[in-house]
Amino acid sequence: MKLFQHLDIGYEPHITEHEEIGRFLPLRNIQRQSDIQLVIADVSALLHLDQYPDSLAAVQYCMSELLRNVLEHSGSPDGAYICAHNYTGKGPHRVTLAVADCGCGISQHLSHVYPEVKVNDLIGLKYAMLPGVTGVVPGMYGTPDNAGAGLFITRCIAKGTGGYFEIISGNAAYRLRRAKIDEQSMLFQDPFLERSDQWEIPHPWIGTVVTIEIRTEAISEFESFFGWIRDQIPPLVPTKKRIRFT
């Protein structure tokens, strides 16, 4: 994944690098919107997802939303880092994505958006995953009706395909467990109502990390799948004063 190169440190023993094509997307640094389009274009060739066009659309949507969140909300001077892995061996075919930044973190960002309230890291994670809370920015499939719903939609894409979703910021962590087949169609706006785990981590991450697993064979038609998720989003609340963190 070229982690050591990005950290600019040496390592022993020497590691033999594997061929990237068809297997993984090594760590990429994303500094601007144009970088997002480049990495979205590269992921199709690197992960060989041409045989799963609707799954590729889901992967590209999640990449776009997670990276835009960093560039528009985190305040990270180094932008975002992303990597991906394509699992084609035993078991269901799946793609995992990870996006990390060293920005202000979710609770601090929410305190800027809603200065009248105080939010700890765990409650901050909850409200960041609720639709319509964090901002109004149109995405690749965005409209004013689902603005601020990027983390909600990516979480639902994971659950709807039977994958996992995890987010860490500050000293709080949330992990959505893999949904069983009979659970995948039950989407909850409140992430804490999902079958999930929440905990405090001993060494806080200054910034945010999101990982998501997409089981590609579970998506046969992305536009319908996306529309089904979008239908779960309530109408946009026009004023932030109506949102209370308690």
Q: For residue range 99-142, what is the model confidence (pLDDT) as tens digits? A: 999 999 898 888 877 777 778 999 999 989 988 765 544 444 44
Q: Do the domain assignments include residue 10?
A: no
Q: Do the domain assignments include residue 5?
A: no
Tell me the one-letter amino acid at 152.
F
Q: Do the domain assignments include residue 191?
A: yes
Closest by Cα among 25, 28, 58, 76 to 222: 58
Q: Which whole-number Å values give the CA distances from 53 to 2, 57, 98, 104, in the listed order?
A: 28, 6, 21, 35
Q: Do the domain assignments include residue 177?
A: yes
**Domain range holding 104?**
20-231
Q: Do the domain assignments include residue 81?
A: yes
58 or 15, which is more confident? Answer: 58
Q: For residue range 143-191, what is the model confidence (pLDDT) as tens digits? A: 434 445 789 999 999 999 999 999 999 999 999 999 988 888 888 989 9
Q: Do the domain assignments include residue 142?
A: yes
- How many structural domains are present in the chain? 1
Q: Do the domain assignments include residue 14?
A: no
Give the CATH number of the domain where residue 126 resides: 3.30.565.10
Q: Do the domain assignments include residue 150?
A: yes
